[in-house]
Chains A and B, each alone.
Chain A
Amino acid sequence: MATLKDFRNNVKPNWCPGCGDFSVQASIQRAAANVGLEPENLAVVSGIGCSGRISGYINCYGFHGVHGRALPIAQGLKMANRELTVIASGGDGDGFAIGMGHTVHAIRRNIDITYIVMDNQIYGLTKGQTSPRSAEGFKTKSTPQGSIESALSPIEMALAAGATFVAQSFSSNLKQLTAVIEEGLKHKGFSFINVFSPCVTFNKINTYDWFKEHVVDLEEIPDYDPSNRIMAMTKLMETEGMLTGIIYQDKSRKSYEDMVHGFKPEGLAKQNVKLTEAEFDKLVAEFK
């Protein structure tokens, strides 16, 4: 059985020292080992941005695509071979700006993949512009007077889009982060995990200390019921979206693959696809 070590490679990440993404990388590696995966059966598909590099830093099949399109690539991969475990990942710009259309529809579609967003509320790789997650008034290179757009609430968005697994965590809380990724990997359907992953270089407001002050761990809320969507929405609004832990999970809904008519448990890529002559003749008969 593979251990944490088997998911590590010798590539040195080009993230700044102290970047929140290191914890996400470590948690994915740990969670993969904990749920009993082998490196060759895990694929990490990522977008573009600092966080997009993560697919190269884990010892598994990695696909670093184009900006904002990690989700459709990951969904295509899962449809091709549903026996693989597929993680899609990227930043808040990747998933909530350029790729937002895919995010909402991937959530609705509910293909069994895990989507991990490294949310630092700023554009890091392009050196400090505003993101859909930047708070109103937040000053960046592209909003010198402060952002005049309202910030997106990704968890409320995910719930509204019909998500079957919604979690949020924080790079400083490695234990919780690993646990929610593990649960996301185990969930049968689309798992949405937003991770507060501070940018130490360009975001001087939403720092580790700021998050420590503001996050609300669900474990601190007595009688919280993650199967209750209304409760999830209410608590999110009460905490201004700062809840962490598994916020909502619907275990009853089947994954997309399980609902596709005639879709077999064996990966499509492994199936024999050559038509017999009889099968071909039957198809042609329609046009006679």
Chain B
Amino acid sequence: MISQLSWKIGGQQGEGVESTDRIFSTALNRLGYYLYGYRHFSSRIKGGHTNNKIRISVKPIRSISDDLDILVAFDQETIDLNAHELRKNGVVVADAKFNPTMPEGVQGRLFPVPITAIAEELGTSLFKNMVASGASWALLGLPLEVFNKAVEEEFGRKGPAVVEKNVEAVRRGAEFVLELAGGPLSEFQLEPADGKQKLFMIGNDAIGLGAVAAGCRFMPAYPITPASEIMEYLIKVLPKFGGTVIQTEDEIAACTMAIGANYGGVRALTASAGPGLSLMMEAIGLAGMTETPVVIVDTQRGGPSTGLPTKIEQSDVLAMIHGTHGEIPKIVFAPSTIEDCFYDAIEAFNLAEKFQCPVILLTDLQLSLGKQSSELLDYNQIVIERGNLVTEAPALEENQMFKRYAFTADGVSPRVLPGTKNGLHHVTGVEHGEDGRPSESPVNRQKMMDKRMEKMKHIKVRNPILADAKHDSPDLLIINMGSTSGTIDEARSRLEQEGIKTNRVTVRQLHPFPAEELKPHIEKAKQVVVVEYNATAQLAQLIKLNVGHADKIRSVLKYNGNPFLPSEITKECKELTLVWQH
């Protein structure tokens, strides 16, 4: 029995790779396995190689694996591009239609299954995905009833005849491969899962769900990879709760419309990726200057310009912190798990209203789009805090306005919504006095800047850092952000086996930077490695600037578009440690 296994399906984009993966993994989730998915796709709709990889485990995992157990191939290109990942006992289940062959020097066995032929016998090549997933399922020796139930749920609304055909496709695929393999493969028998119910979702869905739970009822947004799923989720869900989504003409409209809506008193967010965030920068400054809450999600992808739209990168960090001209209070924080995506989305809205400033929730492509298991989400942790929001204002003297920007000790002034009697005030991106009217007085200017920036001193997100630090004096402290924790932890367990003691700290709050929290971890480590997806070591720059210790901080960087593998981090960390030891 094994505790984990990796499965990959590949073919031409639009050929059923996605749907095969969806049904296969939904069924595994029902059995209680922990899953972690990775989508390799291109910026086009049909054609071009695409593959989905899922790691299946009896224990929580948050990383793709170095190698592969089962590869399902709809075409020869899939085999040529991916077979090198196969481990010794690996298996390729390939459509017999294209006379599959194994590339030279590749280990593993080839099982040609007439995937297209069976599908066409059943009426249409659309059944290919069912034949392929049936074959995969059978090799694992898992109960077919669970799989058929997932099929039934996927196709139930299309009627019993469709369900029956799909179930038949699954059965035929399973039967054929078992004949070839001589029964389920003993080396792929997974230990039983804990059977605990889990959720299986992408980070973008978790953010959308968190937004609804937080009371967000409006989203203006412009489509972009890899952010659009947030918009699509909310288009589906918000009307059930009286809210709506507007697809705007561009990201400038999306951001300013969200600002207008928050000013009006409804919680609103927008979401985009690098190119959209670049367009929003002036509006973000407006939100900072007018102290209007707004939540913006940046699902980072490969930049600059159009860059690598479907690939991972964490290269917007400094732009998000420093972007917009002038100086404003702003919060930037980065979830690192699916659960974080949900709870952080709620917190983003609370922080935006509490500190009356823009909040940027920073994810990366793998966290946003990689489908993975999540623990159940806790209803009791949903709290809506609206900050200093005044619903009734005392009567005003003639020609007096509500002091929307009153000077206060913590820099946060009472906020009143349009429609409130006695709450009239002016809002402007021009420097202004306490009632919002423009003012160029140097004394007022300095006081207003200090008031706005004062807010930065009080900002603290839930778990600004997450430390897995069991060693008092580790050889190596690995620091990261976003989706890389799971991969780093696998690398760490390998490093430990080689006698290298490591701690990990994941930085969640990027701005204002949690220097005090991070400092002791850096001080007690012999060496520090910062792992991130960019070329200029942006997180490492922040650490050096805010905490210091530049002499012992090194970087492991990747910016070729692919996610880190545990083996890569292990190797690079080991090499750096050896260099230091000499």
A interface, CB within 8 angstroms of B: 9-11, 38-41, 43, 45, 55-56, 59-66, 69, 71-81, 83-84, 101-102, 104-105, 109, 260-264, 267-271, 273-275, 277, 279-281, 283-284, 287-288
B266 touches A275 (CB 8 A): no
**Contacts of B423 on A, CB cut-off 8 Å?**
40, 61
Known: A40-B419, A284-B209. 15 other contacts (CB 8 A): A41-B419, A59-B424, A61-B419, A76-B259, A76-B260, A79-B260, A80-B265, A102-B249, A262-B240, A262-B242, A263-B239, A269-B264, A274-B215, A283-B209, A284-B377
Interface mask (B195-239 → A, CB under 8 Å = 1, otherwise 0): 001111100010001001101111010000000000000000101
Q: Which residues of B contact A284 (CB under 8 A)?
A: 199, 209, 376-377
Whether A81 contacts B419 in the complex (CB less than 8 A), given A76-B259, A283-B237, comes out as: yes
| B425 part of interface (Cβ distance < 8 Å) | yes
Q: Is the CB of A66 within 8 A of B212?
A: no
Say yes or no: A80 contacts B252, CB within 8 Å. no
Instruction: List, sorted by A's number, 15 A–B pairs whose CB atoms are closer than 8 Å.
Output: A39-B424, A40-B419, A62-B427, A64-B427, A73-B259, A80-B261, A83-B419, A105-B248, A263-B239, A268-B218, A275-B212, A280-B379, A283-B209, A283-B212, A287-B205
CA distance A273 to B383 in the complex (A): 11
A11 surroundings in chain B (CB, below 8 A): 437
Q: Is the CB of B256 within 8 A of A271?
A: no
B267 touches A74 (CB 8 A): no
Confirm or deny: B430 has a beta carbon within 8 angstroms of a beta carbon on chain A: yes
Judged by a CB distance under 8 angstroms, whether B382 is at the interface is yes
A64-B429, A273-B215 are contacts. A76–B282 as well, Cβ < 8 Å?
A: no
- Contact check, A101 vs B249: say whether CB atoms are below 8 A apart: yes
Residues in B whose Cβ lies below 8 Å from that of A45 = 260
Provide the bound-state CA to CA distance between A264 and B290, in Å.
29
Contacts A60-B424, A277-B379 hold; do A81 and B266 have CB atoms under 8 A apart? yes
Measured between beta carbons, the chain A residues less than 8 angstroms from B262 are: 76, 80
B267-289 contacts to A, CB under 8 A, are 267-268, 282-283, 285-286
Q: Which residues of B contact A72 (CB under 8 A)?
A: 220, 248, 252-254, 256-257, 260
Q: How far is the CA of A228 from the CA of B425 in the complex (A)?
A: 42
| Pairwise interchain contact B248-A275, C-beta atoms closer than 8 A | no
Residues in chain B near residue A264, CB distance under 8 A: 242
How near does chain B come to A174, taking the closest CB pair, in angstroms? 25
10 smallest beta-carbon distances between A and B, as pairs: A76-B260, A80-B264, A269-B265, A273-B215, A73-B260, A76-B257, A64-B428, A76-B261, A80-B266, A61-B418
Residue of B nearest to A57 (CB): B426
Evaluate contact between A261 and B283: CB separation under 8 angstroms: no
A263 in contact with B244 (CB, 8 Å): yes
Contact B384 A274 (CB under 8 A): yes
Partner of A261, one of B239, B252, B290: B239
Task: Check B450 for interface membership: any CB of A closer than 8 A.
Answer: no
Complex formed: what's the CA distance from A66 to B424 in Å?
Answer: 20
Pick the contact of B421: A40, A60, A105, A262 (CB < 8 A): A40
B interface SS class? mixed
- Indicate whether B258 reaches chain A with its CB closer than 8 angstroms: yes
What residues of chain B lie closer than 8 Å to A78, measured between beta carbons? 264
- State how many angstroms separate the Cβ of A12 from the closest Cβ of chain B: 11
> Is there contact, CB below 8 Å, between A65 and B429?
yes
| A263 to B267 Cα, complex, angstroms | 16
Measured CA separation A41–B218 after assembly (Å)? 21
Asked if A262 and B265 sit within 8 Å, CB to CB, the answer is no
Residues of A within 8 A of B421 (CB): 38, 40
For residue B328, give the distance in angstroms from its CB to the closest CB of chain A: 13
Does B420 reach chain A (CB closer than 8 Å)?
A: yes
Inter-chain contacts of B376 with A (CB < 8 A): 284
**Alpha-carbon separation in the docked complex, A270 to B417 (Å):** 10
Interface centre among B217, B263, B264, B420 (most CB of A within 10 A): B264
User: Does the CB pair A56–B437 fall under 8 Å?
Assistant: yes
> Does B66 touch A at the CB level, under 8 Å?
no
CB <8 Å contact, B242 and A105? no
Contacts A66-B283, A80-B260; is A267 near B244 (CB within 8 Å)? no
Contact of A273 with B256 at beta-carbon distance under 8 Å, contacts A11-B437, A64-B430, A66-B282 already known: no
Q: Is the CB of A271 within 8 A of B242?
A: yes
Q: Determine the residue in chain A with the shortest Cβ distance to B425.
A: A61
Q: Contacting A268 at CB < 8 Å: which of B217, B254, B384, B418?
A: B217
Q: Given known contacts A72-B220, A267-B419, is B239 in contact with A262 (CB within 8 Å)?
A: yes
Asked if residues A101 and B253 are in contact (CB atoms below 8 Å), the reply is yes
Residues of A within 8 A of B213 (CB): 275, 280, 283
- Expressed in whole angstroms, the minimum distance between the Cβ of B157 and any Cβ of chain A is 14
Given contacts A59-B424, A263-B242, A268-B266, contact A84 B200 (CB under 8 A): no
Q: Which residue of B lies closest to A73 (CB)?
A: B260
